[in-house]
């Protein structure tokens, strides 16, 4: 929720996605989370990284 554009519901969806699928291998995988489309992904890209 500390990332601009990511609220409580989206943050919970990210956590649930990780619990089901494991760590993100790339930032682009965030696009698989419900509520994160191309526009939101590009907006949050500077604030996230995948390892």
CB-CB contact of 7 with 40 (8 Å): no
Q: What is the pLDDT of residue 50?
A: 85
CB-CB contact of 40 with 5 (8 Å): yes
Q: Give the pTM.
A: 0.85
CA distance 24 to 44: 15
Q: What is the pLDDT of residues 1-51, one digit of tens each?
A: 788 889 999 999 999 999 999 999 999 999 999 999 999 999 999 999 987
Chain centroid to Cα 6, Å, comes to 8
Angle at 10 between CA 49 and CA 20, to 5 degrees: 75
CA distance 19 to 37: 20
């Amino acid at each position: 929720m500390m990332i601009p554009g990511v609220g409580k519901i989206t943050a919970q969806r990210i956590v649930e996605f990780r619990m089901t699928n494991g760590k993100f291998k790339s930032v682009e995988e965030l696009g698989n989370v419900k509520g994160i489309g191309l526009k939101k992904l590009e907006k949050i890209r500077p604030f996230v990284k995948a390892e």
